[in-house]
Amino acid sequence: MIKHTAAPDTTFELVSGLEIHVQLNTNTKIFSSDSAAFGAGPNAHISPVSLALPGALPKLNKEVVAKAVRMGLALNCHINQTNFFDRKNYFYADLPKGYQITQDKLPVCQNGFIDLTLQDGSVKRIGINRIHMEEDAGKSMHDQHDQYSFVDLNRAGVPLIEIVTEPDIRSAEEASVLLTEMRKLVRHLEVSDGNMEEGSLRCDANISIREIGSSTYGTRCEVKNLNSIRNVRRAMDFEFNRQRELIAAGGVIQQSTLTFDAEQGTTAPMRTKEEANDYRYFPDPDLPPIYISDEWLAQMKAAMPLLPAAISAALQQQYGISAAEATIFAEDKELMQYFQDALPGVSAPKTLINWLSGPVRALLNEQHLTIGAYQVKPLALSEVITLVESRKINQHAALHQLLPELQQHPEHGVAEIAEKLNLFLEDNTTELSGFADQVLEKYAAQAAAYKKGKKGVLGLFVGEVMKMANGKADPQQLNQLLQEKLK
């Protein structure tokens, strides 16, 4: 391992492209009716096709094509309406056939792009070279026995799409933002759960360096099977430094396949890099070409949901909210649906947005819940908001008493629970005025300080009056009452 010391004199830039593997969330595998579900016991989801038994023939799952096209449309790709499958030949214990069915010469999608907004606000366009469909391999397990390796073929034949970018990435930040956006996109389009921990989204990073200003690509090394965004950043940073220090020391970069040690934060060689001819690609004779008719393509385009960027822009324009607020809703389909369901019950949509992006979001985070698991129905929340806005209950009581009770008993009415908890405010200005006089007399020194400009003590007075009123007072009304008395 090379020890990283002072940076070399020559200034280099990173050149990288990612190969992002997305496990599609179909019920069955790409070429058989075996379940594609995650988490079953070893070799529970297998069949003659998964095991590649003699005479077993693949049959394409149409939903795999539809999900691949959906991603292609979202990434501004050209859709190849005629495409076909190839065999990629290599030998490994978890690949029963001795080849993987994939797409080589003519993938389903090509020549797209995605625009990324970086931390400094700049926009970087990353080209998408291709999206192709393929089957996953099985899983070899080397830690189950001290003498043997075990193979679990549940994953063999699970459908994947591979999104291959152009070598347009120039920093670990760009790679991180790209993967984050891809994870959001696959979830938004409902093509995958995007769970990197379970392997539903993983990537290989092709990394090279070149002198700044040069247009010639350097020799690339491929870091395989990165399973977290953090590890992609770490591997990219390490490999950039390793390569530039090696060149500065007079060495030569060898094209190779690398593994990343997450504990050490280092890369290490696995094997020399294969070339396309090593895989001996040829069209799969058991699968006919795929033909996507004009009619089917039009149906898929018509069924495409609005993408997060378009949703965000529409929310900003319609409700006058900030880009940050709009992004919260645009990137969370469940939250957006909850908002739309609650909207008919409120008079001011911006107030509903403020509640959902502020106090309700905070409550959900405290309870580690998503909005989809929130037991308070959308129109019930609207009713709560209306009670607060009309000053019939105060917001603190709504958040800390009424909403928790509604979570426990969503079948009960909002007004019924508010009445039961004695939350309705009493409009007794004379009584509140008397409480205010008592508080100002008790805290005469603080009242004097307020009159000299120390406005922060007003909260003390409001809190004390609220206690005397047993919480059944409108804070805004109290603020106004106390300010008049302190003039």
333 within domain boundaries: yes
Please return the burial class of 201, using the count of CB atoms within 10 Å of its CB with bins 0-12, 13-18 and 19+. buried
Question: Do 81 and 222 belong to one domain?
Answer: yes
Task: Give the mean model confidence (pLDDT) for residues 38-60.
Answer: 92
Q: At what angle do helices 475-485 and 458-468 cross, to 10 degrees?
A: 120
pTM above threshold 0.85: no
Q: Which amino acid is at 204?
A: D
The answer on 92 and 185 residing in a single domain is: yes
pLDDT band at 272 (very low <50, low <70, confident <90, very high): low
Residue 437 is predicted with a pLDDT of 76
pLDDT of residue 296: 97
Return the pLDDT at 457: 72
Domain for residue 94, yes or no?
A: yes
Same domain, 128 and 205: yes
| Residue 6 belongs to a domain | no
Question: According to the model, what pLDDT value does residue 274 have?
Answer: 61
Instruction: Tell me how far apart the alpha carbons of residues 88 and 459 are, in angstroms, rounded to a whole number.
Output: 71
pLDDT tens-digit map of 158-188: 999 999 999 999 999 999 999 999 999 999 9
* Residue that is last in its domain, among 420, 437, 468: 420
Q: How many domains does the chain have?
A: 3
Statement to judge: residues 409 and 330 lie in one domain: yes
pLDDT of residue 430: 63
User: Alpha-carbon distance 467 to 79, whole Å?
Assistant: 66
d(CA 459, CA 449): 13
Domain presence at residue 4 = no
Express each pLDDT in 466-486 by its tens digit.
Answer: 777 766 666 777 777 777 777
> Do 453 and 329 share a structural domain?
no
- Given a cut of 80, whether residue 89 has pLDDT beyond it is yes
Is residue 2 situated within a structural domain? no
- Closest alpha carbon to 402 in 363, 366, 356, 372: 363
303 domain-assigned = no
Which domain, by its residues, includes 446? Answer: 429-485
pLDDT tens digits, 408-467: 998 999 999 988 888 887 666 666 677 777 877 777 787 777 777 777 777 777 777 777
Of 296, 327, 357, the residue at which a domain comes to its end is 296
Report residue 121's pLDDT band, with 50, 70 and 90 as the boundaries. Answer: confident
Predicted pLDDT at 472: 66
The percent of residues in the chain predicted with pLDDT above 70, rounded, is 93
Q: Which pLDDT value is given to residue 3?
A: 42
Return the closest-CA partner of residue 101 out of 150, 71, 64, 128: 64
How far is CA 278 from each of CA 9, 31, 208, 254, 264, rounded to the nearest angstrom? 38, 25, 22, 17, 32
Q: What mean pLDDT is predicted for residues 243-270?
A: 90
- Across the range 240-246, mean pLDDT stands at 93
pLDDT above 70: residue 326 = yes
Mean pLDDT value across the chain: 89
Per-residue confidence (pLDDT) for residue 275, from 0 to 100: 65
* pLDDT tens per residue across span 4-45: 444 444 589 999 999 999 999 999 999 999 999 988 899 999
Same domain, yes or no, for 437 and 472? Answer: yes
Same structural domain for residues 142 and 265?
yes
344 in the same domain as 247: no
What does the pLDDT read at residue 28?
96
pLDDT tens across 358-400, in order?
A: 999 999 999 999 999 999 999 999 999 999 888 888 888 899 8
* Residue 39 sits in the same domain as residue 94: yes
Pick from 368, 389, 420: which residue ends a domain? Answer: 420
Residue 137: pLDDT band with limits 50, 70, 90? very high
Pairwise CA distance, residues 482 & 462, whole Å: 8
List the 266-272 sheet strands across, edge first.
Answer: 78-79, 109-117, 123-135, 159-165, 12-23, 201-211, 221-226, 256-261, 266-272
Which tops the pLDDT comparison, 292 or 250? 292
**265 and 122 in one domain?**
yes
Orientation angle between helical segments 429-442 and 458-468, nearest 10 degrees:
130
Mark whether 165 and 253 lie in a shared domain.
Answer: yes
pLDDT at 196: 86
Q: In terms of domains, do 413 and 471 share one?
A: no
